[in-house]
Chains A and B, each alone.
Chain A
């Protein structure tokens, strides 16, 4: 039987047709021998392919695209080294629950397992770092594998699916048939929350006196920011947003206490510690949030809402678990809570007064260097102010990332993209490229460290050639700053191998110029605003601003790794002055 959907073609054409059917508009990649057959039909496809300079860039670009748009990001690479170059961004995206499909060519099926030229068992390599993966050796299986890959990547807790396709499956004749249904008997849909669990949660909230909404990246994944706002306002409960959730709830909102965790605000960290009920929404009690787990929020009961049942009770026991999509969950919780409040409205006045006093007594701050040097926090703060709340910011990993999470006010979801789970240096530039491709009318700033920038800046060439005018702020402290900070605090200021000399070499403005970008430099506080404005005025080319900053700035507050959140320090050897506080 055949309908007009059934067409004879080779596996490569079938792959491209499948990607078109899956709704792909753009993918990032580099061709090579094993995937080459697919690049031929791609030449005629409606899909935009962006030729990157390193496959790691392709993977992070797909991630940035997915995080900015909520759609599935797609990257493509050849076998062997092409595929192994995707390993880091695959692990990165999977850790941060980003929907991504990675397509790799594989050596011909007859050669698999023989250490053939450019053979790597990428399915085996990526098994522990993907949500699912496929090795396709029969061309007839291509459409089904692609359809399943997009379904699995995007549904439930999003994640990465890799489809590895043997070269002979790409070259062999086949019949293209887009599957009308997907049958994955072992893939369960957990999106519908149970009303009974929601009712139990509402009852717990109504009995609590010091509740906190502990909000994680899942709220953004579920597009549930509006619902969260309604819940917070209706319940009057303060909110903390984790590193992955910055932007899920407006920073300017009076109920927002900021970010919890290792470099969180005193108010957010302390509110969790003193809370009697954590209403956990799409967060996972990561060690960077909890500090020493056994001392985390010691008296709190826990409501844990997540679409992934494996997160429930993984690190912290839940008193009430709600497995389901967060949008649906909050939409059920709101009326249930209103019904509870109608019976007896809990009084959080004392609690709100308390958290507000922590917030006003211990605001985020930083020291301005006395010698007129530029402070990195100031640069980042000005970037946020001048560029405004619609801007998408990406960050690398290190001090600049923490400052970008602290000193920029995020008002909207999907405006703050970073590598939270894996902590991947090199994320910022390619992720900004992907975000800009997904949101071409939005200003995209990559806030990068001079260390991180030197890992993936080659994608600026891709940006320059493909009209992807991102802006990069290199927070140049001449060092691997975050590591240096640990050396300052925990290794007697012995700065082993953290000096990058990047105010001498390379010259970032010349490098920018060589890559087809505009390079700007700023070293004085009084030049910051005009330099940012200059960068903002250039929209037809990527811009790189080398901000030469003070190298001894540190990220505060800090809870040292492995210690209790109660040990939070607001500056070196300085704990918050609790005496002024009625606890």
Chain B
């Protein structure tokens, strides 16, 4: 029996206390699950933070991890976010090579993808995009011909849709 590993997005509300991120991530590392994406940030309540974790696991193992997470005293609530029922956004910053000749082409391409050129230096440019993972991947492929010098991406953040 082969267990299907798929990516899951788990959104965890935690008390804003020191050490809480270590506790949460330790539950994944203990089982040798690789965290693919992680973001931590404030919520509307200053005492509460949200950790969004993208992890590739098989369903039964995921249930187990969620149960274990729920046992952590500083974890208030856990929700799995599904693609169809939530808004999921991440942030990309990428430095590409440019020349005097292709600067405009880059501007146009980035605009077409809904991104921004955050810095234009003589031989390189920093491009940013805040969008879904698919859109981010599309931009990265489009930028490849320029020569990607450096790339950084945030973990994903998600919010459940109302409708």
Are the chains A and B members of one assembly?
A: yes
On A, residues with C-beta under 8 Å from B are 123-124, 127-128, 131-132, 135, 152, 184-188, 308-310, 312-314
B15 contacts A185, C-beta separation under 8 Å: yes
17 contacts between A and B (CB under 8 A): A123-B19, A124-B19, A124-B22, A127-B22, A128-B26, A131-B71, A135-B18, A152-B73, A185-B15, A186-B15, A186-B72, A186-B75, A186-B76, A187-B73, A308-B71, A310-B64, A310-B68
A186 contacts B19, C-beta separation under 8 Å: no
Pick the contact of A127 from B19, B60, B64, B67 — CB < 8 Å?
B19
A184 contacts B71, C-beta separation under 8 Å: no
The chain A residue with its CB closest to the CB of B71 is A310
Q: Is B103 among interface residues, defined by CB-CB distance under 8 A?
A: no
**A131 / chain B contacts, CB cutoff of 8 Å:** 71, 73
On B, residues with C-beta under 8 Å from A are 14-15, 18-19, 22-23, 26, 30, 60, 63-64, 67-68, 70-77
CB of A481, distance to nearest CB on chain B (Å):
32
Given contacts A124-B22, A186-B15, contact A313 B73 (CB under 8 A): no
CB of A321, distance to nearest CB on chain B (Å):
11
The chain A residue with its CB closest to the CB of B15 is A186
Bound CA–CA A529/B159 (angstroms): 72
CB of B48, distance to nearest CB on chain A (Å):
8
Bound CA–CA A185/B47 (angstroms): 11
Given contacts A127-B26, A313-B64, 16 further A-B contacts (CB under 8 A): A127-B19, A127-B23, A128-B26, A132-B73, A152-B73, A186-B15, A186-B72, A186-B74, A186-B77, A187-B73, A188-B70, A310-B67, A310-B70, A313-B60, A314-B64, A314-B67
**B26 / chain A contacts, CB cutoff of 8 Å:** 127-128
Bound CA–CA A128/B30 (angstroms): 8
The chain A residue with its CB closest to the CB of B18 is A135
**A184 / chain B contacts, CB cutoff of 8 Å:** 73
**B70 / chain A contacts, CB cutoff of 8 Å:** 188, 309-310
CB of A262, distance to nearest CB on chain B (Å):
24
Bound CA–CA A127/B19 (angstroms): 9
**B72 / chain A contacts, CB cutoff of 8 Å:** 132, 186
**B71 / chain A contacts, CB cutoff of 8 Å:** 131, 308, 310
Bound CA–CA A308/B64 (angstroms): 12
CB of B56, distance to nearest CB on chain A (Å):
20
Bound CA–CA A185/B68 (angstroms): 16
CB of B3, distance to nearest CB on chain A (Å):
14
CB of A422, distance to nearest CB on chain B (Å):
16
Bound CA–CA A287/B124 (angstroms): 58
**A312 / chain B contacts, CB cutoff of 8 Å:** 67
Given contacts A128-B26, A128-B30, A186-B76, contact A309 B18 (CB under 8 A): no
**A185 / chain B contacts, CB cutoff of 8 Å:** 15, 76
Report, nearest first, the 6 A-B pairs whose CB atoms are least far apart. Answer: A310-B67, A132-B73, A186-B76, A186-B75, A187-B73, A185-B76
CB of B62, distance to nearest CB on chain A (Å):
12
Bound CA–CA A188/B77 (angstroms): 10
Bound CA–CA A314/B18 (angstroms): 29
Pick the contact of A309 from B30, B67, B75 — CB < 8 Å?
B67
Bound CA–CA A310/B30 (angstroms): 16
**A132 / chain B contacts, CB cutoff of 8 Å:** 72-73
The chain A residue with its CB closest to the CB of B73 is A132
CB of B78, distance to nearest CB on chain A (Å):
10
CB of A325, distance to nearest CB on chain B (Å):
16
The chain A residue with its CB closest to the CB of B67 is A310
**A314 / chain B contacts, CB cutoff of 8 Å:** 64, 67
Bound CA–CA A132/B70 (angstroms): 13
Bound CA–CA A312/B14 (angstroms): 24
The chain B residue with its CB closest to the CB of A156 is B71
The chain A residue with its CB closest to the CB of B63 is A313
CB of A182, distance to nearest CB on chain B (Å):
11
The chain B residue with its CB closest to the CB of A188 is B70
**A188 / chain B contacts, CB cutoff of 8 Å:** 70
B73 contacts A186, C-beta separation under 8 Å: yes
The chain B residue with its CB closest to the CB of A294 is B1
A186 contacts B23, C-beta separation under 8 Å: no
CB of A226, distance to nearest CB on chain B (Å):
29
Bound CA–CA A184/B20 (angstroms): 14
**A127 / chain B contacts, CB cutoff of 8 Å:** 19, 22-23, 26
Q: Which of A128, A187, A309, A310 has the most CB of B within 10 A?
A: A310
**A308 / chain B contacts, CB cutoff of 8 Å:** 71
CB of B136, distance to nearest CB on chain A (Å):
32
The chain A residue with its CB closest to the CB of B23 is A127
Bound CA–CA A236/B64 (angstroms): 34
Bound CA–CA A184/B75 (angstroms): 10
The chain B residue with its CB closest to the CB of A157 is B71
CB of A169, distance to nearest CB on chain B (Å):
14
The chain A residue with its CB closest to the CB of B14 is A186
**A309 / chain B contacts, CB cutoff of 8 Å:** 67, 70
Bound CA–CA A185/B48 (angstroms): 10
